[in-house]
Structures are given as C-alpha cells and as structure tokens.
C-alpha cells in the first residue's frame, strides 16, 4: 500500500505512507497523491493475511491520529477519492481501468485507516478526523460534512457503477468500507440506536437511495459473480501512451498487479477457492446489517421497510401509496439464488427475513411447484445438526415452521417424490415423498436434541412444525413411522425418571415442592421460578414431548387416517408401549382416540384370522380405515402454531448478524479482544 509497495513488511518504511501520516500538510494539488495511490499491493482476502495487514497499518494509523489535527491529510485523502468517484461512471464507459484502479486504491487506504480509527476512538472523535482542514497552499477549506459526503458517495458508487470485471474490485471495496463504518457495534454490548454514522445512513442524504441500495445488494447476491481472473486487473505500460497515461513521474513503471481477491501472487488463493464469491458474500452481509439496524427513537429503519415491501417485476398492479422505499426485483432469480446458497448462515438468515417480513415473497415461494429445491437444503442443514452452529439450526427450523403454517404447502410436499437422497446416509431412501423426508429429519433433530443438547427452544419449534403438518400427513413412508419410535425411546426413559423423582421425594421432604413441579406438564402450569434439579427438568421436557407427539399422532388419525396405513401398522405393532400412558394424568385424554383406533383395527385383524402376511395386514388396515366411523373419535382443537418474533428481536439478530460479519467477512479481521457484542464461543 503506497507507491511501489508489494509486501506488508514494506509498509512501515514506505516514504509515501510516511509522508501521509507525517507532520507536514500536503496540498490536494500535489503530485504526491498520484504517486501514493499507484501501488502494487495485493489486497488480502483471508483472515490471516488481513490480520498481518492490520498489524502493519496500526502503527501508521496511530501516528496519523496524532498528526492529522495539524495536517488534515486524512481529509485530503478522502477528498482525493471523492474527486475520482465523480468520474467513475464515465471511466467505466470509457474502459479507463487505470483511473478506476487508482480510485480503488484510495478507497482501500481509507478503509484500512478507518478500521483502526473506529477501534481507537469514539464516533465523535472520528468525525473530527474528517473536519481537520489542510493548511498547505492550494488546499480546500469548504465546510462540507466530509463524513456524510463519503458515506453518500459510497452508496452512490454501489448503486450507480455497473458491475463489470474492471469495476468488481472497487464495488467490493465500497461495500466493505460501509461494513467497516458500521463496525462500531462490535465494540458495544448494548444495541446502538443512534449516532453520527447511524443518522447519516438512516436520515441523511443516503435516505433517498434506500431502495436502490437494497435492490443492488440483492442483485449482487443473485448474480453470484465470481472474482474476475487476475488478467483483468493487470496493466502493462504502452509505448505510445507516454508517461503511463500522464501520471506523475514518481509513479512506478513495469507490470502492475492490483486487487485480485486472492488471485495470482496472493496467499489467499486457497481462501478464494473456499469463498469464490466475495462481492456476493459481502453484499449479503451488508444487506443483513442494514436490515437489522434498530429503529430510531421516532423513525423506522428504512432498509427494513424496503426489505418488507419490494415486489416481483412480474407484478403489474399499482403500488400502494403508503409503502415507502418499495421497488421491484425478479423473484424467480432471487428464489433460485436462495435455493443454491443455503449452505451459508447468511443466506439462510436472508431466506428467513424474506419469508417472515415480505408477504409478496412468501406468497411467491409458497406458490412454486419446485419447493423441493428450497426445502431440501434446509433439511440438509438440520440433518447435519452436529456440524452447524445453533443459530443456523434455529433459522432453518423457523423457516420450516413458517412454511408449515400454510396448508397448501403441507399437502403439496407429500406429492413431491424424491429419489436417492445422497446426504441421508443412515438409511437407503431410494424413493420417498418430500413430506415424509421432512418428518424424518425433524424427528431425527428432536432425538438429537433430547439426547445431546436438550434445548427447549429447539424441540418446541420442531414439534410446532410437525403439529402444523399433522392434519395433512399423506402416505407416510415406512421410515416416517419414526414418530412411533421416538415415542418408544421417550417411553423407555420416562418411567425411570418418574421412579427417580419418587425416591428423591421420600429421601428429602424439603424437595416436595420441586417434585410437585417436576411432575407437571410444561404447558404453563409452573407456579414459580424455583430451580429444578436436572432430572426434574428432563422429566418435564420428556413429558411435554410425549404429550405433543401423541397429539400429532391423534391429529393425523382424526384428519387423514385413510391416507396413512403405515402409521396405523406401526401403532398396532408397538401397541404395548402405550400401556403406561393410559393411566398417566397428562396423557389420559389424548389416549382415548389412540385406544379407539388400536382397538378397532386389532378387532378387524382378529376377525381376518391368524398368521397374516404383512401384505394381508396392510389390506385389512386399508379397508378398515374406510370403515371406521369418524364420530367414534373425540374432537380436539386444531393443532396450529404460528411463528412470532420476540418483542425486541434486535437483541438476538444484531449480535447474530455481526457474528457472521466477524467470521465470514472477506478480507476483514478483528481482534477478539475488545469485542463486546457477543462472546467468542457464541453461535
């Protein structure tokens, strides 16, 4: 960074950088600036290389912090960049790669310095760094708000400059610099709801660009453009072009390599293979940061408004007047990108955001005839639950819960037949419906949770999704009888916990109240917050899960018995496991219908004779399902659950989003020391 610099180790000795951070003010008209921003440094993309770069920049940035109040050189650098942004669109049209390259280099330097500034000083102190004016002859002394000017220009750059090979690097840098500006949040435990940068982005000149910025970031995600090959960023001096396009004589000649995002000569080559879509990734992270900014004291977040109301380009209806910041985007392209990118936390979080907040997008997704393209990646996340962080699993489950709120979805997934699910390795699934696979994976997740993590939030969402589907269960695969096997697993543990509870009560009278709580269902009947022993908590959770599983089976039997002979077969085969539930006060009511079904079909099988083949048993069940009078089954309230966010969702989502930026931002590194927003082991 700085003319002729190609290695991190050279930065501290670079004469141009020494002059920039030194004690002398440099006029904006000085040829020095052309020399400064004509460097051959390859920007890092891996976290390790970014760490090395920041460690080299920190001493220089601290010297600049000390000298800038007298020199104003940082403000001059910003104005040099702003002067070039005014010509960027023309430069793009004219294929002026050298001009774009220099503008990128100036912005890259600003971003590296800003990152240290933000770590070292408050927003008010940062703002002052922009207001120190040069005192050298020929300097500008305007009174413009340089910080707002820079933020506004970055947004304009992102929305106005077309994405081409020659502009890829500067667009990436603009998106990354905006992320750096917002990184103040990392160093505060409390959610930031105001501040200078916040005000500029939410209420200032950037406000009118809200919908265009959200749309552009979405299209960056949709396009999934790979980083251009290094050849598109290499400049060779041409004999007829004079002194390298008329640049100052201090500029280095020879073969110039510039920002390649892990291209030739960069240690980040392996990193690029791991993340070959840096602009797409960074744009998605910025979009999530913007969408999750907290509302102001008396104004809503405009970026969330834009996310909430954008519409399909195919929608020709008139726009409602009351919806601000709305725009149109190609839903088919967005849907395709979402289906393809669910391996990342941030893409799953975007899918959740759109499903939950944008009614137009939710309606469109639910109308698709290829829902398997979207649902299968979500199920794969849950199948590999051991390898995923808890937040990613939560988002995947909530997406399923939102989808299962729709009865048409619950019916249609049983009509989609899948063949050879390669990632499902426990059993050979040569042919299974999407609905049965969904049930299998969710029940497997419950089982994992009950035996490993024991997270009440997790199993509650799993059970809610199954409950929403239960009335629409159709032709369950023989492996989908795993519902019964889960009840069996829980029923084996349940008596031992009950016995242990009783023994504990006899041994210690003072725990009678705790025992009383431990034998209640977790359906809102606990009287106080007295801490329960681990075994009592386990008993409560298992009892709740058994109750809900019995309700799900009951819902299926009451609403779609004739569609599910395999489930009836499993009930009959495992009828003895339900014996213990008949006399338990928490299960007696729900067991009436199960007993009715088991008794009815047992009688039909006895009448059919002994030593029946499996095929003959299934035939008897099929005919019996048509003959069972529905009025013999007791009616229960419909099992329906709806996802509702917490009262202050930002308390969860803002730390989550910034943990994604911290871990997944391309070319960004923050030392964990000083991070206040989340713990390093969260997620």
Cα–Cα distance, 369 to 612 (Å, whole number): 41
Domain boundaries, the chain: 1-132
Predicted confidence at residue 677, as pLDDT, reads: 94
Exposed, middle or buried by CB within 10 Å (0-12, 13-18, 19+), for 185? buried
Helices 302-309 and 210-223: crossing angle in degrees, nearest 10, is 60
Burial (Cβ within 10 Å: 0-12, 13-18, ≥19) of residue 162: exposed
Going from the first residue of the chain to its last (683 residues), give the mean pLDDT of each consecutive group of 10, the final group possibly shorter.
Answer: 54 86 93 86 76 89 95 95 85 80 92 95 94 56 76 95 92 97 95 91 90 97 87 41 31 29 32 66 97 88 95 80 84 96 95 96 96 96 91 95 96 92 87 91 86 79 92 77 65 51 44 42 41 58 82 88 83 81 84 89 86 85 85 86 90 95 93 88 52
- Assign residue 310 a region: left if phi > 0, alpha if psi is -120 to 50, beta otherwise? beta
pLDDT value of residue 345: 95
Largest interatomic CA distance in the chain: 108
At residue 38, what are phi and psi to the nearest 5 degrees? Answer: -115, 75
pLDDT for 268: 33
Q: Answer whether 0.75 is exceeded by the pTM.
A: yes
Measured distance CA(224)–CA(283) in Å, rounded: 10
> DSSP H helical segments within 72-167, as ranges?
73-85, 88-93, 97-120, 123-131, 146-160
C-alpha distances in Å from residue 169, one per residue of 36, 87, 230, 342:
18, 16, 11, 25
How far is the first Cα of the chain from the last one, in angstroms, to the nearest whole number?
35
Which among 69, 93, 73 has a CA at the least distance from the CA of 81? 73
* pLDDT score at 544: 81
* Concatenated DSSP letters of 600-618: HHHHHHHHH-SS--HHHHH
What are the structure tokens assigned to 353, written together? Answer: 């955001």
Q: Facing residues of 257 across strands?
A: 234
Cβ distance 23 to 71 under 8 Å?
Answer: yes
Q: Residue 140: what pLDDT?
A: 47
Tell me how crowded residue 512 is: count the other CB atoms within 10 A of its CB. Answer: 11
Q: Alpha-carbon distance 565 to 478, whole Å?
A: 9
* 3 state DSSP class of 311: strand
Query: What is the spatial distance between Cα 137 and Cα 675, in angstroms, rounded to a whole number?
Result: 42
Give the per-residue pLDDT at 410: 95
> Around Cβ 669, how many Cβ atoms within 10 Å?
18
Query: What is the pLDDT, as a whole number, of residue 493?
Result: 52
- Angle between helix 73-85 and helix 146-160 axes, rounded to 10 deg: 30
Alpha carbons 385 and 430: distance in angstroms, whole number: 23
CB 621 within 8 A of CB 607: no
Residues contacting residue 89 through CB under 8 Å, at least 6 positions apart: 160, 161
């Amino acid at each position: 960074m700085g003319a002729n610099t190609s290695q991190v180790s050279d930065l501290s000795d670079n004469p141009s950088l020494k002059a920039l951070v030194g004690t002398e003010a440099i006029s904006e008209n000085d040829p020095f600036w052309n020399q400064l921003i004509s460097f051959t440094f390859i920007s890092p993309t891996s976290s390790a290389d970014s760490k090395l770069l920041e460690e080299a920049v920190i001493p220089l940035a601290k010297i600049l912090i000390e000298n800038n109040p007298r020199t104003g050189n940082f403000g001059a650098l910003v104005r040099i960049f702003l002067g070039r942004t005014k010509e960027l669109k023309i430069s793009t049209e004219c294929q002026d790669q050298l001009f774009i390259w220099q503008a990128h280099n100036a912005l890259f330097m600003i971003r590296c310095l800003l990152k240290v500034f933000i770590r070292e000083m408050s927003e008010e102190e940062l703002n002052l760094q922009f207001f120190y004016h040069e005192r050298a002859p020929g300097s500008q002394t305007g009174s413009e708000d340089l910080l707002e000017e820079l933020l506004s220009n970055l947004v304009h750059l992102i929305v106005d400059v077309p994405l081409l090979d020659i502009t890829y690097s500067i667009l990436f840098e603009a998106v990354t610099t905006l992320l750096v500006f917002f990184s103040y949040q990392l160093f505060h435990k409390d959610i930031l709801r105001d501040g200078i940068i916040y005000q500029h982005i939410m209420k200032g000149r950037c406000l009118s660009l809200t919908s265009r910025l959200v749309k552009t970031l979405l299209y960056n995600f949709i396009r999934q453009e790979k980083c251009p090959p290094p050849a598109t960023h290499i400049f060779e001096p041409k004999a007829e072009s004079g002194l390298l396009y008329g640049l100052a004589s201090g500029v280095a000649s020879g073969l110039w390599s510039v920002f390649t995002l892990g291209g030739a000569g960069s240690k980040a080559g392996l990193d690029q293979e791991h993340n070959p879509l840096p602009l797409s990734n960074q744009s998605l992270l910025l979009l999530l940061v913007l969408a999750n900014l907290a509302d102001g004291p008396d104004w809503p977040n405009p970026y969330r408004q834009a996310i909430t109301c954008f519409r399909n380009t195919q929608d020709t209806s008139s726009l409602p007047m009351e919806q601000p910041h709305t725009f149109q985007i190609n839903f088919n392209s967005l849907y395709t990108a979402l289906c393809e990118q669910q391996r990342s936390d941030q893409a799953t979080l975007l899918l959740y955001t759109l499903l939950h907040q944008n009614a137009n997008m939710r309606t469109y997704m639910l109308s698709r005839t290829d829902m398997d393209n979207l649902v299968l990646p979500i199920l794969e996340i849950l199948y590999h639950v051991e390898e995923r962080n808890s937040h990613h699993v939560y988002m995947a489950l909530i997406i399923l819960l939102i989808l299962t709120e729709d009865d048409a979805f619950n019916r249609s997934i049983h009509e989609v037949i899948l063949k050879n699910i390669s990632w499902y390795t426990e059993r050979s699934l040569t042919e299974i419906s999407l609905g049965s696979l969904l049930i299998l994976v969710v029940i497997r997740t419950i089982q994992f949770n009950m035996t490993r993590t024991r997270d009440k939030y997790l199993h509650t969402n799993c059970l809610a999704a199954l409950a929403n589907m239960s009335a629409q269960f159709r032709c369950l695969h023989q492996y989908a009888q795993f519902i019964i096997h889960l009840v069996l697993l829980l029923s084996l543990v349940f008596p031992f916990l009950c016995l242990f509870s009783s023994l504990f009560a006899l041994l210690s009278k003072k725990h009678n109240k705790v025992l009383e709580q431990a034998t209640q269902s977790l359906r809102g009947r606990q009287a106080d917050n007295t801490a329960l022993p681990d075994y009592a908590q386990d008993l409560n959770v298992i009892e709740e899960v058994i109750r809900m599983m019995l309700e799900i089976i009951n819902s299926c039997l009451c609403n779609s018995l004739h569609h599910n002979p395999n489930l009836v077969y499993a009930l009959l085969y495992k009828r003895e496991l339900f014996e213990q539930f008949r006399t338990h006060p928490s299960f007696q009511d729900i067991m009436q219908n199960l007993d009715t079904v088991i008794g009815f079909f047992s009688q039909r099988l006895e009448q059919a004779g002994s030593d029946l083949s499996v095929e003959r048993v299934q035939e008897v069940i099929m005919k019996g399902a048509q003959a069972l009078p529905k009025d013999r089954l007791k009616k229960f309230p419909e099992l329906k659950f709806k996802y509702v966010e917490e009262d202050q969702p930002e308390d969860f989502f803002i730390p989550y989003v910034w943990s994604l930026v911290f871990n997944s931002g391309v070319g960004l590194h923050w030392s964990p020391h000083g991070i206040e927003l989340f713990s390093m082991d969260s997620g």
